Homo-oligomer: A and B are copies of this chain.
Amino acid sequence: MANYFSTSFTLGILGGGQLGKMMLYDTRKFDIKTHVMDPNPDAPSKIAADFFETGDLMDYNQVLQLGRKVDVLTFEIESVNVEALETLEKEGKKVFPSSATLKKIQNKGVQKQFYKTHQIPTADFQLFNSKADLNEAIIRKEVSFPFVWKSLTGGYDGKGVSVIKKQEDLIPLPDVACMREELVDFKNELAVIVARNVAGEIKTYPVVEMEFHPTANQVEYVLSPARIDDAVAQKARDLAMKVSSSFEHVGLLAVEMFQTSEDEVLVNEVAPRPHNSGHFSIEASYTNQFEQHLRAILDLPLGATEQKCAAVMVNLVGEANHQGNVFYENMEEIMRLPGVTPHIYGKRETRPFRKMGHVSIIGENIEKARSLAQDVKEKIKVISR
């Protein structure tokens, strides 16, 4: 084993957003040197990295140069130049997750095809090279309404996804390679964080549940553990392990899933990194997801994934109609509630729906935590003033 602790060993991290920032708490805890690259000179990870440089994550040469300066390279965002990662791997650099895994995940068409090949249950789909091809398939009645349209690349946080009820709905969409996906009749949206280290040791976190706003199509609460039957939970965790092993993934993989009305579990999509749905682990798990990612990519033993308590996570997003210097209204009120911890990502400026932070709410059981989370959600507002 390499000696990572208080040595000159350096971990490179592509991307310096909030996920990178939170990972740095754990590199500092272990005293592991880091070198971070992000295009934004004021990225949240700028502070607490040993070295920080600005650079374009999609630029072959800049990623290559960064990679050559470090001992192990990882990323906190999928939009990085994968060819540079391939070159680095050929040069003998350790890159985790690997370029091969990332390539399969970056393109949603390849990702879906991968599930099909590996008999991983997922919603039915068809791929199209262009909007014209999709329109023709509709005309030929090979596609029926409603369905889910997804761009094959570049989607993030709901962008690149649209529910299509009639052909006209396609008009505003971009002309890109895309897929038609079956609109799944689901009871719950679930997610499982699965960690797999270099040696192949694998562990899953308890299943989390995404609770949506009753009218707005927006995740309001992430609950851990999910309020589902043990049998469904076990099925979801088994499936997450199968996905991780099939990808021969190294690092964290967040597997988003649907629980159908018949209690089938279908893989929706994956993210090969720490994930919003795993933030609960900072306060509630024996090992938080960021430390677990480090353990996995550095081939250390994985930490226990059991929970110390129940947890609910609420995202702090900018209020509509507010743009400018951020102010967290009623922060003091929510900090008065027991087991409430705000995480502020460090973005000076708020914009409508911008992810500015999150709040962890822990409690003895999920009912108590959920009830407290509602208080938090109703009180805290991310505004400008």
Residues on A close to B: CB < 8 A? 1, 3, 5-7, 21, 24-25, 28-31, 47-50, 284, 286-287, 291, 295, 300-301, 303-304, 306, 308-309, 325-328, 331-332, 335-336, 338-348, 362
Check if A343 sits within 8 Å of B29, measured CB to CB. Answer: yes
Question: Closest chain B residue to A346 by CB distance?
Answer: B31
C-alpha spacing A331/B1, complex, angstroms: 10
User: Which of B31, B306, B338 contacts A338, CB < 8 Å?
Assistant: B306
| Majority secondary structure, A binding face | loop
User: Which of B327, B342, B346 contacts A3, CB < 8 Å?
Assistant: B327
Apart from A25-B29, A301-B332: 14 A-B pairs, beta carbons within 8 A: A3-B328, A5-B326, A5-B331, A21-B28, A24-B48, A25-B25, A28-B48, A30-B344, A48-B48, A284-B308, A286-B362, A295-B335, A303-B338, A304-B339
C-alpha spacing A347/B7, complex, angstroms: 10
C-alpha spacing A285/B83, complex, angstroms: 45
In the complex, which residues of chain B have a beta carbon less than 8 angstroms from the beta carbon of A28?
21, 24-25, 47-48, 346
Question: Closest chain B residue to A348 by CB distance?
Answer: B6
Pairs across A and B, CB under 8 Å, 18 listed: A5-B326, A5-B342, A6-B346, A7-B325, A25-B25, A28-B48, A30-B344, A31-B345, A47-B48, A47-B49, A48-B48, A286-B338, A300-B332, A303-B340, A303-B341, A304-B339, A308-B308, A308-B309
C-alpha spacing A335/B298, complex, angstroms: 12
Check if A308 sits within 8 Å of B47, measured CB to CB. Answer: no
Contacts A47-B28, A308-B309; A300 near B343 (Cβ below 8 A): no
Contacts A308-B308, A308-B362; A341 near B47 (Cβ below 8 A): no
Check if A6 sits within 8 Å of B326, measured CB to CB. Answer: yes
C-alpha spacing A50/B48, complex, angstroms: 9
In the complex, which residues of chain B have a beta carbon less than 8 angstroms from the beta carbon of A326?
5-6
Check if A31 sits within 8 Å of B344, measured CB to CB. Answer: yes
In the complex, which residues of chain B have a beta carbon less than 8 angstroms from the beta carbon of A336?
301
Contacts A48-B48, A309-B308, A362-B286; A300 near B347 (Cβ below 8 A): no
Q: How far does the Cβ of A47 sit from chain B's closest Cβ, in whole Å?
A: 6
C-alpha spacing A28/B340, complex, angstroms: 17
In the complex, which residues of chain B have a beta carbon less than 8 angstroms from the beta carbon of A328?
3, 5
Check if B335 sits within 8 Å of A301, measured CB to CB. Answer: yes
Report the 6 A-B pairs with minimum CB-CB distance, sorted nearest first: A304-B338, A308-B308, A301-B336, A31-B344, A48-B48, A31-B346
In the complex, which residues of chain B have a beta carbon less than 8 angstroms from the beta carbon of A309?
308
Question: Closest chain B residue to A291 by CB distance?
Answer: B341
Question: Closest chain B residue to A201 by CB distance?
Answer: B336
C-alpha spacing A218/B250, complex, angstroms: 42
C-alpha spacing A25/B27, complex, angstroms: 11
C-alpha spacing A284/B283, complex, angstroms: 9
Q: How far does the Cβ of A9 sit from chain B's closest Cβ, in whole Å?
A: 12
Which of A3, A286, A287, A342 neighbours the largest number of chain B CB atoms within 10 Å of its CB?
A286
Q: How far does the Cβ of A203 sit from chain B's closest Cβ, in whole Å?
A: 11
